[in-house]
Chain A
């Protein structure tokens, strides 16, 4: 049985955010929504400071608090390890968001059109429209409208409608085609790996073999599917410098 997991080599990550961009384009997330996020952390007191980067996708926990608390079973875990959200069933109570220790959840506060308007890109530019067919955003991914998995639920992509939750899906629409998630595919330095973590011979298992590993917030017992190598967990005095634009106005 395939059990998907991700490995992240912190010694390779250089903070370029190609993974963040790739995720945005593949999953059509609107402004201020970062399914993949890369922390830029500084620790220590100036001038004795050090900088580190920490990519943080959804951890797709094996003992996921978000799955446990969902009142209607919209957030669920698949046998292949992916934790997904059924946008047709979600009632927008945001309990998964408060239960998640990693802060990976996003709520659709606005209608999709209003959410994309923040990009301040003329999606309805008459020169663009014949090419894109008026799609908003212009790079709209058709795979996201389909039902996925044996369970046939609407679980891929972002901003389908207001009032529901969403988060990183390990690119469920790509995984089904045996492709790696967009972030993994686009990392220029190969810091991200993805595959069957139960198979010793898979690239992702080989990637972390014999290396010192850690998982984020391991003590909480969430048992994440994301493994980090080549670094250490964020120090207690680490704080974020350089933040993405995340203001959302009505």
Chain B
């Protein structure tokens, strides 16, 4: 305390001399006053940031990640946006005038429909996953004890197997003469292939993105304090009322994170529609890939990608603002803020 006080008074006198030179009388007195206040404000600021130079340490530690993001994420995205403004079938960002021609093509041709189809598929996936995962997440967070760990590992380990291997499992299961078809045929129900239609694409998406919904939901439900639920039951609330007025609002962060995550991942989904859907549905990601490979039209692909980026970013920024990730990651509520 003592040193802090000395620090504050000493420089103040030093400044006194500097400021008094050009000005005269009351004007300089006010200047000194303002300066002293500013200095005090700065000192309380740095005291709040931690006296051992936490600010500097934090900046330094964030540096490697920041550099990676700058050159591996932000600049490449700017690159996509810039390419989307180039005339079609060009492969360089230089020597061309920017144009909005690609966007005109997108909005006057069938690309709009691909965009809509992808959006609808993504919304359906989110909706189905909420229905499927909520009871399971509830069981993980509130009902199971040892079993929860087992279910968690059983589902999490699937994340580490390439999604196209797992989707290929569905192909073998659902193709003509495959596992399901063969079993049904044995029981006297000969069926043709289950593959290559819209519901099966949906099955694939629900399957692949299930962990991304389940774990945020379980995290969110874990944050619902048991005492609050018990109090509600004691006061005579029924199960539906507890769900609607306690579980649902208090686990909303988890629900939002899961939904946004699944939506964003499934709107950019490529493999599901290709492997399970044949060419029945052309998703926006498939259109982008075609523009880059067969179409050899980078600017068109980039413009499509830009629209996709814009859509996801609006959603993500809107939702993330409302969620406190620190408490989700297990920060203790008191103390550090």
Q: Tell me, yes or no, whether A binds B.
A: no
